[in-house]
Each structure stands twice: as structure tokens, then as C-alpha cells.
Amino acid sequence: MSTHGAPAGLLEYFAAQGNGTNEKIGIILVHGFTGSPASMRPWAEFLNGHGYTVRVPLLPGHGTQPGDLNKVKWQEWPACVEEILDELSQKCESIFICGLSMGGGTTLHVAQKHGSRLRGIILVNPMIHVPLVPVPLAWVLSRLQKMRKSVGDDIKRPGITEWGYDALPALGVVELLKMLKITREKLGQITLPVQLFHSVDDHTLPVSNTEIIMKGIASTNKNRIELTNSYHVATLDYDADLIYQNSLTFIESLTK
């Protein structure tokens, strides 16, 4: 896995205006840690094909080189999503956020602060903790090794890549864990409708992430769908169509 050789524009911020009756419904799709907008682009294009206005941000520290992710503070990730939320709020009547992995954790963080501005959230293999790795330990490890082995491209389909980093920036992990710790403590503040997709065969995150989120959020409208033929980056895997179609049904149920 690497950002080198990615098709032109695939690693950049993606925006597409909707049309028809769905134009006033905005959807933000947030990629994961060390990943890129490429992991969310097909989903965004599917939703845009149904008339929705879509945005796929490039999170700070991503889409360039791994070392850049060691220079980012965690607050920059939700701030990036909030900036797009502000923009869409000026033109859309309803807004949803979709998040993959760390993008799911970022989505939860934004939803805690701006729940009244959102109609619902959709999570795919969302991240809320790393078992047995508290922030202090991660910080010590980052002093010893700035780059670790990549955890990206956990995809069952052969020959598919999310065009992310081929290394894991250790200081970036420290910032990630800080955000997740704060977000986990406030899960009960989320009352929005939530659709969650979980891969049974996920080699990146344990199922405890999904269980903590489903138990911790206060939403009464929350649903979990199991993915049986995909690994972690399920938005690009064999179950992608299942995610796309069910997310469409979820959005329609809340906006029609």
C-alpha cells in the first residue's frame, strides 16, 4: 500500500453537487487513519448518483507522506469535518456523516458536539479504542520508533487498495488515541439515528470497538449490520454494495 501511483485526484478532497429532490441533503464521508479519500470515493459517487450532495474530506496529515501524520494534532481532524459541516449547513436541509474506522471515531466526536445539526450518522468498522494501548504507553513507544508497520489495505478483494500510507506514524497514533479517549467518555451524548456496519472478519480492529459504541450511544434508533465477506476497509470490499444500498435505505427512511 502506498500513495504513490494513485490516479489523479483520488487522494484529494472530493465534492459533488446533488440534483433533484435530494440536492438539499448533504453527506460527508470520512476516511480512516493512514487512509485516503479513495476509500470513500465509490460510496460518495453512488450516493451522488442518487442526487445527494456529497463531500469527502482529505483529513490533515493524509494523502502526502507518512511523516506528515506525525505533525498533526487530533483536534485538526474533527475541525476539518466541522468546516465542511458549516459549509453544507448553508445549503442543505439535512446532513449525514459517514465514517470508516478512525473516520468513524471522528464522526462520533463531531456528532457529540453538533448532534442538532445532523440527521443521522453511518459507521463502518468504527474505531473507539485500541485494547491495552493507553495514551501514555503509545507516547513512550513513539519515542522509540517514529514509524511502525502499516495496518492499511485490510481488504479481502485481491488487487484493491485504499491508496494510503505504507507505514504507521507513531506520534499520529498518540493523537488518535487522545481523540478516541475523549470521544468514548461522551458516547452517551449521542442520540442521533445510527447505522453501523461491522465486518465479522476484521484484521485491524477487534469487535470490542463496535460493542462499546453500540452500548455507549444513547440513540434509540440504532442498527448493526454484519458484513460476512469483507475485511476492515469494507467500503472497497465484497460487501461494498450492501453498505451502499443499506445506507441509502437508512438515509431515505429519515428524509422522505
Q: Which residues are catalytic?
A: 101, 202, 232
Strands 25-30 and 53-56: parallel
Strand partners, 54: 16, 27
Pairwise CA distance, residues 37 & 193, whole Å: 24
Sign of the C-alpha dihedral, residues 158, 162, 163, 168? negative
Pairwise CA distance, residues 228 & 222, whole Å: 20
DSSP letter assigned to residue 63: S
Pairwise CA distance, residues 201 & 249, whole Å: 24
In degrees, rounded to 5, the angle at the alpha carbon of residue 79 between the alpha carbons of residues 50 and 256 is 25
Pairwise CA distance, residues 251 & 255, whole Å: 6
DSSP letter assigned to residue 113: H
In sequence order, what DSSP letters do the residues of 133-193 get, joined into one string?
A: --HHHHHHHHHH-SEEE------SSTT------SEEEHHHHHHHHHHHHHHHHTGGG--S-
In sequence order, what DSSP letters do the residues of 145-156 get, joined into one string?
A: -SEEE------S
Pairwise CA distance, residues 153 & 117, whole Å: 33
